[in-house]
Structure 1
Amino acid sequence: MYVVPESAIADLISPQDSFEAVESVFAAMARKDAYNFPVIREAIGHADALYGFKSGFDRAGLVLGLKAGGYWPGNADKGLTNHQSSVFLFDPDTGRPTAMVGGNLLTALRTAAASAVSIRYLAPKGAKVLGMIGAGHQSAFQMRAAAKQRDFEKVIGWNFHPEMLSRLEETAAELGLPYESVDLDRMGAEADVIVSITSSFDPILKDAQVKGGTHLACMGTDTKGKQEVEAALLARARVFTDEIAQSITIGEAQHAVADGSLAESDITEIGAVIAGMDPGRRSDDEITLFDGTGVGLQDLAVAAKAVELARERGIGQEIEV
């Protein structure tokens, strides 16, 4: 088994590598060449932690495996990342373990890659203003990935805790873009693309606040009960997702489906757009929304790429199991 430690990931796999891996596996899902297994996610009754497994099989790429990990809210006080995960890959021909890969940075990269894929395929071509809702650790990855997809001229941001908005301003400066903190009315009125990356359990952005022609990438809702935008906004938008089964149960669409304003049949997997099976955005004034729930196949795709690069560069270690 080949071991690629967390410490090696930053110098090993780039955002572009991650983008290509996620784009490819989304298309494979749409062609039914890859599928995710049911997610396990539980509160373990210790350290306030959530722990679980995401797994799947990409028959086209011959990638089989799982990501194990979760969220430990007390880790920050210990100098550790709250989100902890590892990816395990297996030989689909024999079932033997082939690799173990540190999954913390990979999770951030694959999450940002998913929203970036949605922006490339669904955002208005002339998008100029990028809106960011949320200023946590993941927000910097999201902004950097989003900025590569359109010629944005400005970034605007909002966060529950205004003292954290400096992260957005600093990241925008790194990208050479002017930045302004705004209220949610201005966010919905001015942004052509809005990326939300929060852990909210109550809707932040309301339907009435969002103009036409906007693309939203809702990336924070991955658990039953979480919600970043008002359900009525999904009912007005064309809704896309990474996987429909997750979208309607633990994703942003769970609330609109539950209240009957959105049908499962109204949701399209982003892979269908990538694979040329769906046209995606149909007009400049249409609202599109990507419900990024985070699927196991994303993790496996970027981990497999990391292993490939590690072997090529002699990074990591082969161990007997």
Structure 2
Amino acid sequence: MIIVPEREIPDLMTRKAAFDAVEGVFAAMASQDAYNFAVIREAIGHEDALYGFKGGFDQAGMALGLKAGGYWPNNMEKHQLINHQSTVFLFDPDTGRVKAMVGGNLLTALRTAAASSVSIKHLARKDAKVIGMIGAGHQATFQLRAALEQREFEKVIGWNFHPEMLPNIEKVANEAGLPFEAVELDQLGHDADVIISITSAFAPSLLSEHVSAGTHIACMGTDTKGKQEVESALLARATVFTDEVAQSISIGEAQHAVGEGLIKESDVNQLGAVINGTHSGRTSADEITLFDGTGVGLQDLAVAASVVDLAIEKGVAIEVDF
């Protein structure tokens, strides 16, 4: 068995490699060459933690496995650890034997950012100039760095439940040579051509009335029953895309709009279909597009498999007899 510790990941996985892996997986899913297993995600009744498993099988890439982990909201305060903790396990699809164990914390951040970045590439207007960030935590910095590579953005605006955290994304904007402005949500929705929401909220912050025509929104924080980042009415206004339809309507942002009868399951489209060219994607400059990024196990397997290959190539993989 190969072990790739968390400490090795920063020198192995790049944003481009994560982007390519996620884009490929979305395309494979839409072509039915890859599928995800049912997600298990539960509150464990200890430390307010959410813990679960995401897995799948990519027959095109021959990646089989799962990611185990979740969200421990007290980690930073109590242990100086990031709140999201996870590990990816890969198995040999020919024999079922365990193949690799890979640190999943940075990989999760990179693949989540890659997913929203893929949605921006395929759905946002080509002339998008202002990007709005809702959320300013650890994941938000990865989201913004990846997103800025997809369009010629000229300004970053942001809002967070805790305004004192906004310097996290202001720093990323400044590193890219872009101005940053802290704004209220109504201004953010009005001014932004692209909006990324990356929070762990259970009540919507962005309302439909906030959002201007032609905006692309990537909702990246809702991955559990009850979570919600944007008003359900916004999905009714938008053309909705997702990574996995089943997850979108059960644990993703679409769960609320479907539950309230504002949209149907058939209104939720796979982003992979746009990548493959079987869905037209954005059809006008005024259309609102929304990507519901629920986070699928296949994303984790794709980036982990890539890391294992690189770790072996660079001689940093640890091999154990298991």
TM bracket, shorter-chain basis: over 0.9
Q: Distance in 1 between matches of 2:287 and 2:49?
A: 40
AA at the equivalent of 1:172:
A
Q: Which residue of 2 aligns with 1:73?
A: 73
Moved more, 182-191 or 28-37: 182-191
Residue by residue, what CA displacement relative to the aligned partner does 1:224-264 show, whole Å, maximum 9, x if unpaired? 11111110000010000000000001000011000101010
Q: Distance in 2 between matches of 1:217 and 1:268?
A: 14
Q: Tell me the secondary structure at the aligned position of residue 16 of structure 1.
A: helix
* Structure 2 counterparts to residues 125-164 of structure 1, below 5 A: 125-164=126-165
Q: Which residue of 1 aligns with 2:211?
A: 210
**Residue 302 in structure 1 maps to residue 268 in structure 2:** no
* Structure 2 counterparts to residues 208-247 of structure 1, below 5 A: 208-247=209-248
| Deviant stretches of 4+, over 4 Å | none
AA at the equivalent of 2:86:
S
Give TM-score, length-normalised by structure 1: 0.99
Residue by residue, what CA displacement relative to the aligned partner does 1:120-139 show, whole Å, maximum 9, x if unpaired? 00000000000000001111
Q: Distance in 1 between matches of 2:234 and 2:47?
A: 36
Q: Which residue of 2 aligns with 1:199?
A: 200
Q: Distance in 2 between matches of 1:261 and 1:200?
A: 21
Unaligned runs of 5+ in 1: none
Q: Distance in 1 between matches of 2:239 and 2:316?
A: 43
Q: Which residue of 1 aligns with 2:118?
A: 117
Give TM-score, length-normalised by structure 2: 0.99
Residue by residue, what CA displacement relative to the aligned partner does 1:258-295 show, whole Å, maximum 9, x if unpaired? 01010100110000001111110000110000000000
Q: Which residue of 2 aligns with 1:263?
A: 264
Q: Which residue of 2 aligns with 1:24?
A: 24
Instruction: State the aligned residue count.
Output: 321
Q: Tell me the secondary structure at the aligned position of residue 68 of structure 1.
A: strand
Q: Distance in 2 between matches of 1:187 and 1:177?
A: 16
Aligned-pair identity (%): 70
Shift of 1:48: 2.2
**Residue 8 in structure 1 maps to residue 15 in structure 2:** no
AA at the equivalent of 1:201:
F
Unaligned runs of 5+ in 2: none
Shift of 1:47: 2.4
Q: Distance in 2 between matches of 1:36 and 1:138?
A: 23
Q: Which residue of 1 aligns with 2:44?
A: 44
Q: What is the RMSD computed on CA atoms of the aligned residues?
A: 0.7
